[in-house]
Amino acid sequence: MNVKQFEHSEVLKRLPKQFFADLVQKVQRLKAEGHDVINLGQGNPDLPTPPSIVKSLQEAAEDPQNHKYSPFSGKKELKEATAEFYKREYQVELDPETEVAILFGAKTGLVEITPSLTNPGDTVLLPDPGYPDYLSGTAMADVRVETMPLLEKNSFLPDYGEIPDDVLSDAKLLFLNYPNNPTSATADKAFFDKTIDLAKEHDLCVVHDFAYGAIGYDGKKPQSYLQSEGAKDVGVEMYTLSKTYNMAGWRVGMAVGNRSVIEAINLIQDHMYVSLFGAIQDASIHALTADQEMVRQLVETYESRRNAFIGKMHDIGWHVEAPTGTFFVWLPVPDGYSSEEFADILLEQAHVATAPGNGFGEYGEGYVRVGLLDSEDRLREAGDRIAKLNLF
């Protein structure tokens, strides 16, 4: 049978390799061999969506109005709920019609914003280490990537003074992500104020990935980029319900901020999608506007897990900093090992899966990322297994 093989486009050829596909295959192989693997290598929330949100979806799914096409740019009520959420949580005023775009999860917005605002050959500034899918958008847009190292000595914040003037002059977009994946670092208002000054000086559009915005520890609420004066003049923030409400599989996010950027996102989505299922939008409205005790309980759960895991790490001699945000821990590997070598040892010998830091960029080398996405007992057991390797 002569089946023609059609060549992929140059766009597809430019797409980065999905680094963590290898990790998934290794974990699956060990499980198939009968091993009990504690998988702390991925970022998929392990807890279910709160029951009231699920019930809201069930009821909304029975409404015949939701069986039709939804408005292409999303329901007006969901945009209004987003504006209400930002007003309540961050004291930020948003115009629902012009400053809110509904996304198929924040990942979609983070990928599509680069081809929406740049042309081939333009420069985009990305954090390193950083969320790998930022590179998907830059590959699609065929732009030049310049990285901003996130170093421990700088509290994993970019040092804008280290970026050459010619790079800043050429750059069109600047991506940030706090609380940060993978380093778990947080940023304060002074940092965002400085970012806005830089953006105004160099005509940059700031894209702040606020996926972990709800998850801050020790009584400290993570800072929204939009809480800084002038933020909407020069950028947008991407929010998602995936982490705040354990709705990762529901694929609901939003971009908020600069009107021209929101217009660009709505335009590209008009040509690619026909909006989210109306019932999911109705359930999202409930999530954003209902009593937020469910979010407070979730953060308490992650904080308790953090404390249990960090305590165990200190017990075995792995002296690591407790994260201030996200559900990740960024762990320096022992001397003499690369990130991948050490992650492979933990997986093959202790059956604990972690994400090697080099999968997040050049400056992720020397670290592994752990997700606090299992019970406290399993997190402690992971520590016990690692202790038996006598590496510390």
Q: Side chain identity at 215, as an amino acid letter? A: I
CA pair distance 131, 240, nearest whole angstrom:
15
Instruction: Determine which helix (DSSP H) or strand (DSSP E) holds 253, and give its type and residue range.
Output: strand 253-257
Q: Which two tokens stand for residue 245?
A: 């409400």
Closest to 126 in 3D by CA, of 136, 116, 245: 136
What is the separation of C-alpha 12 from the centre of its chain, rounded to a whole number of angstroms? 23
- What are the backbone angles phi and psi of residue 370, rounded to the nearest 5°? -115, 135
Q: At what angle do helices 293-315 and 376-387 cross, to 10 degrees?
A: 20
pTM of the model: 0.95
pLDDT in tens, the chain (392 residues): 688 889 999 999 998 887 777 788 888 998 899 999 999 998 889 999 999 999 999 999 999 999 998 888 899 999 999 999 999 999 999 999 999 999 999 999 999 999 999 999 999 999 999 999 999 999 999 999 999 999 999 999 999 999 999 999 999 999 999 999 999 999 999 999 999 999 999 999 999 999 999 999 999 999 999 999 999 999 999 999 999 999 999 999 999 999 999 999 999 999 888 789 999 999 999 999 999 999 999 999 999 999 999 999 999 999 888 999 999 999 999 999 999 999 999 999 999 999 999 999 999 999 999 999 999 999 999 999 999 998 88
CA pair distance 104, 21, nearest whole angstrom:
22
Which domains are delineated in the chain? 10-48+294-387 (3.90.1150.10), 51-289 (3.40.640.10)
Q: To 5 degrees, how large is the angle CA 334–CA 24–CA 305?
A: 60
